[in-house]
Structure 1
Amino acid sequence: MNTDAKFIVIEGLEGAGKTTAIQAVTRWLEQKSIEFVQTREPGGTPLAEQLRTLVKAQRDNEKVTAEAELLIMYASRVQLIENVIKPALAEGKWVVGDRHDLSSRAYQGGGRGISDELLNPIRSAVLQGFEPDLTLYLDIRPEVGLARASARGELDRIELEALTFFEKTRAKYQEIANASDNIITINAEQTIEEVQQSITLQLDQFFKS
């Protein structure tokens, strides 16, 4: 694998502004003439996109268990890692990801309450030590993010969860981010311009290091 190529991930709750943040990252890469590919989770390959549809769809006749949701997320993730992310990095291309493993730790671990005893062995088997070089976590209060997401249009199954679910998810995001050197927290309640400036500053510092 090309050690010069980097994997950068954007994380955050619904309505945190991940799309705008990704645009700031890709614009920064273009200005530096760095070749890159974009991915999203769940999804990013034909099979993974089908899994995305399955896990996000509302179902009136069947409850999606927390464990099934977790396994679908990791099945989608390993398809993306092995078929897109690793090959791109090996070719010297940077990868910009809309969500990655931190999402499962926050949403299924924090929000759903799945224990580390179940989650960690699955993570270990799927990732085998693979992780992003830099994660930009867009922190936002759930009520603010959900209001933004609702204004965009129809919500999916996960986005329709109760506020307490997202409060638990945010708490887990913050806990993990505070304990990790390669996860940078960005205040997503700033103006779009301020968020973009914060991201550019962090990318400049990351590139220099």
Structure 2
Amino acid sequence: MTSPSRKSIDNWVLGLTGGIGCGKSAVSAMFEELGITVVDADIIARQVVAPDSAGLTAIHEHFGDAVLNADGSLNRAQLRKIIFADNAQKTWLNSLLHPLIREKTLNDLSTANSPYVVLVAPLLFENGLEQFCDRTLVIDVPVEIQISRTIARDNIDRQQALSIIAAQMSREDKLTRADDVADNNQSLAQVAIVIQQLHKLYLALAENK
């Protein structure tokens, strides 16, 4: 079966990304309030390994009962422990999950019923997902704000937050590749005004596609 291509997506797609702690969820919620369908890659990554899914069935068959919780859901902590200890197992898991995630993502983008659709993906550029987008928007805050928000949200120390940020594409590279940038180091009311202005632009671009 061939994977869907950009040409198969009739909808105009905005790719929304940003580093950890930048506030992607808050901004994507603003688009939803404007009546725009949001497709979230992180949510899809959880859906493809939900109980009774083909993804979880394959994982169970490969790794055994140890990766299941008592209720039949995926034991993420156990699976993480296995793949971090064995690179070959990590490669196997990625080769299973990445096509499943991509197929569902593109299907959801294709079937969205709004003037345009937003694809939220923390690794939009890293995973080459911008090829399925008509335009990209980076939600941006200074690195120190990323660190403080991540520490507060995830209850981790500064070194852990720095390690997560270091593993992602740099802020500078994201800003260079973005078509649009929204500064999220201000009040939500100010950010909402910026998003409303961008929304008008995206409506016009989608209408003229």
Give the TM-score range, shorter chain: 0.5 to 0.7
Matched, 1:133 2:137: no
Query: 1:6 is aligned with what amino acid?
Result: W
Contact 1:138–1:188 (8 Å) recurs in 2:
yes
Matched, 1:23 2:29: yes
- What is the number of residues matched between the two proteins? 170
- Find the partner of 1:99 among 121, 124, 128: 121
Query: 2:40 is aligned with what amino acid?
Result: T
1: distance between equivalents of 2:33 and 2:134? 18
Contact 1:6–1:133 (8 Å) recurs in 2:
yes
Q: Alpha-carbon deviation of 1:134?
A: 2.8
The residue number in structure 2 matching 1:111 is none
CA gap 1:47/1:150 in 2 versus in 1, 3 angstroms: same
Contact 1:77–1:100 (8 Å) recurs in 2:
no
Query: 2:192 is aligned with what amino acid?
Result: Q
- Find the partner of 1:198 among 174, 194, 198: 194
2: distance between equivalents of 1:206 and 1:172? 23
Larger Rg: 2
CA gap 1:201/1:93 in 2 versus in 1, 3 angstroms: same
Contact 1:11–1:137 (8 Å) recurs in 2:
yes
Query: 2:49 is aligned with what amino acid?
Result: L
Contact 1:37–1:88 (8 Å) recurs in 2:
no
CA gap 1:38/1:53 in 2 versus in 1, 3 angstroms: farther
CA RMSD of aligned residues (A): 4.0
The residue number in structure 2 matching 1:189 is 185
Cα deviation code 1:15-48 (max 9, x no counterpart):
111111011111112xxxx6x3532237153239
- Find the partner of 2:107 among 68, 73, 87: 87
Q: Which runs of 5+ in 1 are unaligned?
A: 106-122, 178-182
Cα deviation code 1:123-180 (max 9, x no counterpart):
5xxx6x9411232201112221120121113359x96443871696212212222xxx
1: distance between equivalents of 2:103 and 2:169? 30
Query: 1:97 is aligned with what amino acid?
Result: L
The alignment-based identity, stated in percent, is 16
Matched, 1:78 2:124: no
Cα deviation code 1:170-194 (max 9, x no counterpart):
12212222xxxxx311112121111
2: distance between equivalents of 1:134 and 1:149? 27
Q: Alpha-carbon deviation of 1:64?
A: 7.9
Query: 2:21 is aligned with what amino acid?
Result: G
The residue number in structure 2 matching 1:171 is 172
Matched, 1:46 2:48: yes
Q: Which runs of 5+ in 2 are unaligned?
A: 1-7, 60-73
Matched, 1:13 2:5: no
